């Protein structure tokens, strides 16, 4: 039987509601078109979009700072942008950046209270994380894979499976297309208050395109999310999450994030996402497996420690036994969250 392939869908006023996969790859991934409306650069005025929002750059004095890319080259945050037309850039500011900056400029307790009491703000935060994640990897398509520019090894984004980003792109454009997200479309999202013990940076951004996981720290506020698991990872890790108090170190949060990465990587079945466009409107829906569980132990790759070492070693203090500790972390023989009796290590009581 011939399988039906979705086609690009236009609205009555000419907007692209839904990109088919090939159209998405040709125009958005490879074509340099505005990643929201799809306009080509010679048809509208472009001023491009900061990947890390400008209000974050100003708040944490990052305009002159540099981000380290997967090939270990560095690029200035203020020049870290993706193609976007002026009109859509303004819409992104109004829809996302103004309300999100207002929310995340508050104290952790105020932010947590608003997120608990407002489904709309949780929705906005989730879609905003999808936006940053998508922009980050869209930029990869224009960045050389090799640090040595004499080598022609393609671009960083050539290694991405762009079919996985297609769904995220639909979410990112939902303010433009007026798409409504079904409750099963939202992924795992965990927040906590970061208590600084040693001197660490107040801003951090990490993501992993193989697990669709994102971590963002803004001062004492830190959020981790799995963007395409229909909350499966947080559910599977829920017993441990329920034991963790408010107010943890960044390394404890890295450990939580590492477990979410590991779980996401090893889900036995993943949700299947679809766009449903009818006369009554546009909905993004999810088909969830009957049981969300991990694949068999024999089929798993490594441990959560592989992720934890990757995230922790970037800022881990220069201790005499630093290398030994990092080796134990990698082997999952070290934990920041639990003591020898398996009880949560509450740094507020130290």
Give me the tens of pLDDT residue by residue for the chain, a chain 350 residues long.
Answer: 444 567 899 998 889 999 999 999 999 999 999 999 999 999 999 999 999 999 999 999 998 898 888 778 888 998 999 999 999 999 999 999 999 999 999 999 999 999 999 999 999 999 999 999 999 999 999 888 887 767 778 888 888 999 999 999 999 999 999 999 999 999 999 999 999 755 567 899 999 999 999 999 999 999 999 999 999 999 999 999 999 999 999 999 999 999 999 999 999 999 999 999 998 999 999 999 999 999 999 999 999 999 999 999 988 988 999 999 999 999 999 999 999 999 999 988 76
Same domain, 145 and 211: no
In a domain, 73, yes or no: yes
- The answer to the question of residue 8 being in a domain is no
User: Do 63 and 76 fall into the same domain?
Assistant: yes
Say whether both 329 and 261 belong to one domain: yes
Write down the pLDDT at residue 91: 97
Judge whether 230 lies within some domain.
yes
Q: 189, 194, 190: which is closest to 218 by C-alpha?
A: 194
Q: CA-CA distance, 294 to 296, in Å (whole number)?
A: 7
Residues 49 and 197 in one domain: no
The tokens for 162 are: 């762009």
Last residue of a domain, one of 178, 206, 236: 178
Q: In the structure encoding, which two tokens stand for residue 249, read together?
A: 């170190």
Same-domain status, 155 and 108:
yes
Q: List alpha helices for 223-340, DSSP H.
A: 232-236, 238-241, 250-265, 304-312, 322-330
Whether residue 339 sits in one domain with residue 228: yes
Q: How many Cβ atoms from other residues are within 10 Å of residue 248's Cβ?
A: 24
Question: Is the CB of residue 119 less than 8 Å from the CB of residue 178?
Answer: no
What kind and span of H or E run contains 99? helix 98-104
**Is 219 contained in some domain?**
yes
Position of tokens 């990052």? 62
What domain range is 136 assigned to?
14-178
- The pLDDT assigned to 97 comes to 97
Phi, psi of 109 (to 5 degrees): -60, -40
Give yes or no: residues 69 and 127 share one domain. yes
Structure tokens at 290: 């009957």
Q: Do 132 and 206 share a domain, yes or no?
A: no
* Together in a domain, 44 and 133: yes
**Cβ atoms of 337 and 255 closer than 8 Å:** yes
Same domain assignment for residues 184 and 139: no
221: in domain = yes
224 falls within a domain: yes
- Residue 103 inside a domain? The answer is yes
* Total tally of structural domains belonging to the chain: 2
Question: Which of these three, 126, 151, 178, is where a domain ends?
Answer: 178
Do 197 and 317 belong to one domain?
yes
Q: Same domain, yes or no, for 283 and 190?
A: yes
Domain boundary among 178, 200, 230: 178
Classify residue 3: in a domain, yes or no: no
**pTM for the full predicted model:** 0.94
Identify the CA nearest to 25 among candidates 150, 161, 205, 143: 161
């Amino acid at each position: 039987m011939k399988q039906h392939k979705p086609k690009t869908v236009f609205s009555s006023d000419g907007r692209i509601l839904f990109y088919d996969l090939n159209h998405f790859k040709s125009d958005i991934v490879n074509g340099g078109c505005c990643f929201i409306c799809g306009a080509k650069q010679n048809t509208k005025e472009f001023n491009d979009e900061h990947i890390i929002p400008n209000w974050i750059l100003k708040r944490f004095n990052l305009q002159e700072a540099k981000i380290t890319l997967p090939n270990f080259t560095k690029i200035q945050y203020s020049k870290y942008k993706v193609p976007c037309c002026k009109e859509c850039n303004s819409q992104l500011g109004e829809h996302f950046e103004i309300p999100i900056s207002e929310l995340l400029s508050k104290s952790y307790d105020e932010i947590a209270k608003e997120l608990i009491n407002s489904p709309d703000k949780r929705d906005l935060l989730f879609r905003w994380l999808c936006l940053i994640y998508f922009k980050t990897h869209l930029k990869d398509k224009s960045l050389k894979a090799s640090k040595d520019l004499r080598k022609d090894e393609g671009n960083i984004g050539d290694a991405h499976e762009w079919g996985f980003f297609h769904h995220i792109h639909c979410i990112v454009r939902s303010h433009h297309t007026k798409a409504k997200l079904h409750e099963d479309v939202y992924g795992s999202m965990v927040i906590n208050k970061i208590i600084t013990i040693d001197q660490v940076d107040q801003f951090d951004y990490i993501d992993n395109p193989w697990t669709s996981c994102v971590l963002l720290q803004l001062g004492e506020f830190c959020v981790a999310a799995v963007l395409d698991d229909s909350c499966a990872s947080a559910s599977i890790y829920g017993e441990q999450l329920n034991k963790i108090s408010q107010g943890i170190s960044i390394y404890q949060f890295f450990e939580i994030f590492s477990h979410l990465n590991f779980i996401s990587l090893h889900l036995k079945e993943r949700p299947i996402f679809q766009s449903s466009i009818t006369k009554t409107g546009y909905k993004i829906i999810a088909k969830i497996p009957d049981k969300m569980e991990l694949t068999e132990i024999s089929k798993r790759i490594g441990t959560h420690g592989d992720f934890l070492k990757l995230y922790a070693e970037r800022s881990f203090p220069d201790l005499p036994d630093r290398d030994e500790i990092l080796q134990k972390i990698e082997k999952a023989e070290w934990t920041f969250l639990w003591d020898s009796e398996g009880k949560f290590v509450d740094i507020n009581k130290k």
